[in-house]
Chain A
Amino acid sequence: MVGEKDLIAKIKKSLIAKAEKDPSWTLFLGKEQLSASDLLKRLDTDKSLRKMVIESSFALAIEMWNNEGRSNIEGNSGST
């Protein structure tokens, strides 16, 4: 089962890939401007940001799952 540590590791891996592919990638967070490497560091030090990222990732995964289910139901309902 994927735990929080695994999830953060995956997210960090994707940020590292992002930084390599697009060095100009930036997150604007209010008045703050974070590069991918800045964000990697923040995920270690900013507990509330880390918590938000973890919760949002799980919520998005569930939404994608629900959405996939809905799409399948809608797709099947038109096929008879």
Chain B
Amino acid sequence: MKAILVRPRFDSATEHTFAFAEDILSQCRVAGIDVVELAEGNATKKRVEEELKKGTDLFIFYDHGSEDALIGQDEKPVIDLSNVAAISDKEVYTLACLSAKELGAAVWRQGGKFWGYTEVVGFTTDALDEFKQAFNCGFCYLFIDGLEHTAALDLAKETFDQLSLDLMSKGKIMAAIFMRQNKEKLVSYNQEGPGPDDGNGGGCLLGLLRTPVAIFRSLFSRRQ
């Protein structure tokens, strides 16, 4: 299996998530996954598109996102609705705010699989090990243990639950609250299980109609 891991580092939040992704890199190497790392200055749209053209099975992205984009080192999208086709036939694993909402839905509508979050992700500095475990566990369940997406998502949510209860018992209340909140917003869009909850029941027809509209809107918003 071939993978691309993109991990920018340009603010305090990305300092931490950059470190979280280090474990993903190690897991890839131990599991024999041929991983290309695009870190910091290489985490740009140009470099990402160059590497994607060479072919990969798995696209991993760690840190800032928006509803329709994954944000690179230059604080501009490395992937958005204008180039989403480059990852839409792949497994996509992200730790990025909001991006499951539109970008993940677009990947799914074009036949891909997307692991990510539909809302803003939160974590606290008194529980960095626990948050790292939570954010990375899905990767382990999917690509190391080889579970199906639905089973991996169920297990990941159980892990988030257990971690939040452990944090509560340690008196780390805000960490527990955000661990639970992250769990609620974690989704795995795949072709076997349910798709995005966008009111069309995950059906493809309305999704196909919506994708060009979303792309147009994205282009228009960038011109403003």
A residues in contact (CB < 8 Å) with B: 11, 14-15, 18, 22, 24-31, 33, 39, 52-53, 56-57, 59-60, 63-64, 67
B residues in contact (CB < 8 Å) with A: 11-13, 16, 64, 97-98, 120-126, 161, 164-165, 168-169, 171, 173-174, 176-178, 180-181
**A64 / chain B contacts, CB cutoff of 8 Å:** 165, 168-169
Cβ-defined partner of B177 (8 Å) among A22, A56, A67: A56
30 contacts between A and B (CB under 8 A): A11-B173, A14-B171, A14-B174, A15-B174, A18-B174, A25-B125, A27-B123, A27-B178, A28-B12, A28-B16, A28-B125, A29-B122, A30-B64, A30-B98, A30-B121, A30-B122, A31-B11, A31-B13, A31-B64, A31-B97, A39-B174, A52-B181, A53-B177, A56-B177, A56-B181, A57-B173, A59-B180, A60-B164, A60-B165, A63-B161
Q: Are A18 and B126 in contact (CB under 8 A)?
A: yes
**A52 / chain B contacts, CB cutoff of 8 Å:** 177, 181
Residue picked from A22, A28, A52, most chain B C-beta under 10 Å: A28
Assuming the contacts A25-B124, A29-B120, asked whether A57 and B177 have C-beta atoms less than 8 A apart, the reply is: yes
Residue of A with least CB distance to B12: A33
In angstroms, how far is the closest chain B Cβ from the Cβ of A20?
A: 13
Q: Is the interface of B mostly helix, strand, loop or mixed?
A: helix
Q: Are A28 and B161 in contact (CB under 8 A)?
A: no
Q: Are B125 and A24 in contact (CB under 8 A)?
A: yes
Q: Is the interface of A mostly helix, strand, loop or mixed?
A: helix
Q: Are B125 and A26 in contact (CB under 8 A)?
A: yes
**B64 / chain A contacts, CB cutoff of 8 Å:** 30-31
Residue picked from B98, B125, B168, B177, most chain A C-beta under 10 Å: B177
**A60 / chain B contacts, CB cutoff of 8 Å:** 164-165, 168, 176-177, 180
Assuming the contacts A33-B12, A33-B13, A56-B177, asked whether A26 and B124 have C-beta atoms less than 8 A apart, the reply is: yes
